[in-house]
Amino acid sequence: MAITGVSTSLPQLAALRPPTQPAPVAPDAGPGFAARLGQAIETVNSQQTRASDAVRDFETGQRQDLAGVMVEQQVASLGFQMTLQVRNKALQAYRDIMNMPV
Protein backbone atom coordinates (compact mmCIF):
# COMPACT_ATOMS: atom_id res chain seq x y z
CA MET A 1 0.00 0.00 0.00
CA ALA A 2 1.49 3.28 -1.11
CA ILE A 3 1.04 6.45 0.87
CA THR A 4 0.59 9.51 -1.28
CA GLY A 5 0.84 13.11 -0.25
CA VAL A 6 -2.14 15.34 0.31
CA SER A 7 -1.18 17.52 -2.63
CA THR A 8 -1.79 14.66 -5.08
CA SER A 9 -5.34 14.11 -3.70
CA LEU A 10 -6.43 17.77 -3.88
CA PRO A 11 -7.65 17.69 -7.52
CA GLN A 12 -9.77 14.64 -6.75
CA LEU A 13 -11.26 16.28 -3.67
CA ALA A 14 -11.98 19.49 -5.59
CA ALA A 15 -13.98 17.49 -8.12
CA LEU A 16 -16.15 16.09 -5.32
CA ARG A 17 -16.89 19.52 -3.83
CA PRO A 18 -20.41 20.83 -4.52
CA PRO A 19 -20.64 23.97 -6.65
CA THR A 20 -20.37 27.21 -4.69
CA GLN A 21 -23.37 28.82 -6.41
CA PRO A 22 -26.79 27.43 -5.43
CA ALA A 23 -28.99 26.27 -8.26
CA PRO A 24 -31.39 29.00 -9.39
CA VAL A 25 -34.96 28.55 -8.27
CA ALA A 26 -37.65 28.88 -10.87
CA PRO A 27 -39.60 32.09 -10.25
CA ASP A 28 -42.93 30.36 -10.76
CA ALA A 29 -42.35 27.10 -8.87
CA GLY A 30 -46.03 26.71 -7.99
CA PRO A 31 -48.72 28.17 -5.80
CA GLY A 32 -47.64 29.74 -2.56
CA PHE A 33 -48.79 29.01 0.95
CA ALA A 34 -51.71 31.42 0.82
CA ALA A 35 -52.98 29.94 -2.44
CA ARG A 36 -52.75 26.39 -1.12
CA LEU A 37 -54.49 27.38 2.11
CA GLY A 38 -57.26 29.07 0.15
CA GLN A 39 -57.71 25.97 -2.01
CA ALA A 40 -57.90 23.77 1.08
CA ILE A 41 -60.55 25.98 2.66
CA GLU A 42 -62.56 26.00 -0.58
CA THR A 43 -62.37 22.19 -0.68
CA VAL A 44 -63.64 21.90 2.89
CA ASN A 45 -66.42 24.35 2.09
CA SER A 46 -67.52 22.35 -0.96
CA GLN A 47 -67.47 19.13 1.10
CA GLN A 48 -69.73 20.72 3.70
CA THR A 49 -72.05 22.00 0.98
CA ARG A 50 -72.27 18.53 -0.57
CA ALA A 51 -73.02 17.01 2.85
CA SER A 52 -75.78 19.55 3.48
CA ASP A 53 -77.26 18.90 0.04
CA ALA A 54 -77.14 15.14 0.64
CA VAL A 55 -78.97 15.50 3.97
CA ARG A 56 -81.60 17.76 2.43
CA ASP A 57 -82.10 15.37 -0.48
CA PHE A 58 -82.47 12.43 1.91
CA GLU A 59 -84.96 14.29 4.08
CA THR A 60 -87.08 15.27 1.09
CA GLY A 61 -87.00 11.75 -0.35
CA GLN A 62 -84.94 12.61 -3.41
CA ARG A 63 -82.14 10.35 -2.21
CA GLN A 64 -82.55 6.88 -0.71
CA ASP A 65 -78.91 6.07 0.11
CA LEU A 66 -78.51 6.64 3.86
CA ALA A 67 -74.98 5.20 3.89
CA GLY A 68 -73.91 7.65 1.20
CA VAL A 69 -75.36 10.54 3.18
CA MET A 70 -73.48 9.43 6.29
CA VAL A 71 -70.22 9.11 4.33
CA GLU A 72 -70.67 12.64 2.95
CA GLN A 73 -71.20 13.95 6.48
CA GLN A 74 -68.13 12.15 7.81
CA VAL A 75 -65.95 13.45 4.98
CA ALA A 76 -67.11 16.99 5.69
CA SER A 77 -66.60 16.53 9.43
CA LEU A 78 -63.07 15.17 9.02
CA GLY A 79 -62.14 17.98 6.64
CA PHE A 80 -63.41 20.58 9.09
CA GLN A 81 -61.59 18.96 12.02
CA MET A 82 -58.35 18.88 10.02
CA THR A 83 -58.76 22.56 9.12
CA LEU A 84 -59.37 23.39 12.75
CA GLN A 85 -56.25 21.51 13.84
CA VAL A 86 -54.12 23.29 11.21
CA ARG A 87 -55.44 26.60 12.49
CA ASN A 88 -54.65 25.63 16.07
CA LYS A 89 -51.10 24.61 15.14
CA ALA A 90 -50.52 27.85 13.23
CA LEU A 91 -51.87 29.89 16.13
CA GLN A 92 -49.69 28.02 18.61
CA ALA A 93 -46.62 28.57 16.41
CA TYR A 94 -47.43 32.29 16.27
CA ARG A 95 -47.76 32.44 20.05
CA ASP A 96 -44.47 30.58 20.50
CA ILE A 97 -42.69 33.04 18.21
CA MET A 98 -44.22 36.04 19.96
CA ASN A 99 -43.14 34.70 23.36
CA MET A 100 -39.51 34.19 22.31
CA PRO A 101 -37.07 36.47 24.07
CA VAL A 102 -35.31 38.96 21.82
9 or 92: whose pLDDT is higher?
Answer: 92
What confidence score (pLDDT) does residue 67 get?
95
Long-range contacts of 37-45 (CB under 8 A, 24+ apart): 40/83, 40/86, 41/83, 43/79, 44/76, 44/79, 44/80, 44/82, 44/83
Mean pLDDT of 26-33: 77
**Mean pLDDT of all residues belonging to the chain:** 86
Backbone angles phi, psi at 22, to 5 degrees: -70, 155
Mean pLDDT of 73-92: 95
73 or 9: whose pLDDT is higher?
Answer: 73
Mean pLDDT of 38-50: 95
Mean pLDDT of 23-32: 73
Running DSSP on this structure, what letter comes out for residue 22?
Answer: P
What confidence score (pLDDT) does residue 25 get?
63
Global confidence as pTM: 0.64
For the chain, the C-alpha Rg in angstroms (whole number) is 28
Work out the burial of residue 66: count CB atoms within 10 Å of its CB; fewer than 13 is exposed, 13-18 middle, 19 or more buried: exposed
Mean pLDDT of 14-24: 66
